[in-house]
Amino acid sequence: MVFSIDFPVSFHNCARMIILDPIDSAEFISSNATHVQIHADGVEKLAHKIKNALCSGSAGVENWKSQELTPSVANEQAVEWIFVTDLLNFSFWTDSHPHYEVSFGGKIYTGYWALCAAVNRAVDEGLSLLDANVYKDISEEQMKYVFRSANGSEIPLLKERWMTLQEAGKTLVDRFNGSFMNVIKLCEKSAKKLLELLCQYFPSFRDNATYKGVQVSILKRAQILVGDLWSCFEGKGFGEFHDIDQITAFADYRVPQVLVHFGVLSYDKHLTEVVRGGEQIENGGDLEVEIRGCTLQAIQLIVRRTKQLLSERAESEVISAPIAATCNAILVDNFIWTYRRNHADVIDKSMPMHKTRCLFY
């Protein structure tokens, strides 16, 4: 399946571009990869672990709203919060200490949670950071203050975040009456169509590359935005998508680490040396595309096997239908990402994250 994206003239010189969607991109990349391999025994091992987590209730969709910093109520403000945070959800790693940290509510947060804490802190302090009419005109100095750290470090790519936020705000105001909810309404409950709308109107979501002469897409932030809507609204209202299984994993720099740790992925000697040596890998280069594309394909295989395991268990035991029905790449990715947060030292020793500095993840 392909994306057929109509770009506004101001965003792209070409009127039309054909790009493989993330599912087909993953299959194409993994079939041609020379630096990354997927292993069936690792898929089996991790699928069993995820099946157990789903059955115990520790990895269900309801867990999203129970986290400290995510919206606890699925309402219109939650929609705008999800848009703003996923718009800026990229590149939190630093080249050296200290890491970027944010103090909020008496606690210190790092990584993605530092972003969420900074946004929530700004709202608590009276800045309407979830209102496109406000953030379309936000100044660079205001951005510095919003994302001020607890230790004097600066959030990476601050200027790029500022420009991304401003641009998105202007697009919402000019084209969608100032609200991301109006973008969602246009997608007609289709996750795939929402991905296309995000790529069409908001350039920073165009997480694409050319691999072996083929245009492929990973779309980490666009997909996680759809996933967050689905999770927050538990598949209803603004989170209802009839094709939610078209969403794949969110290929960042953390999920591949966990897949290597569990033996789902392996890197060849050259890529291993690059990653362990802390060298930066070019965004869109073969090494990076293979890591991310094989990550997507591996998660697709894990989802498929986990569903089989749940069906087998359902035949011999009583498990709730929703558990078997809602196993998808979103829940699997969330489990893996959370597992890494809870076992950071072990995972980091197993395989460091790959380093790519970009706006896409």
Catalytic center residues = 252
Q: Are 42 and 259 in contact (CB under 8 A)?
A: yes
Helices 286-316, 40-56: axis angle to 10 degrees equals: 50
3-state secondary structure of 233: coil
Residue reference for tokens 């699925």: 74
Amino acid at 255: V
Spatial separation of the C-alpha atoms in residues 126 and 269, rounded to whole Å = 52
CA angle 220, 226, 229 (to 5 degrees): 135
Chain CA centroid to CA 70, Å: 15
CA-to-CA distance for 263 and 256, rounded, in angstroms? Answer: 10
Alpha-carbon gap, residue 290 to 202, rounded angstroms = 25
φ, ψ of residue 265 in degrees (nearest 5): -115, 155
Nearest to 80 by CA among 149, 160, 189, 181: 181
Q: Directed axis angle between helix 220-232 and helix 329-342, to 10°?
A: 100
Q: Which residues pair with 16 in a beta bridge?
A: 6
Tell me how far apart the alpha carbons of residues 112 and 135 are, in angstroms, rounded to a whole number. Answer: 20
d(CA 217, CA 108) in angstroms, rounded, equals: 35
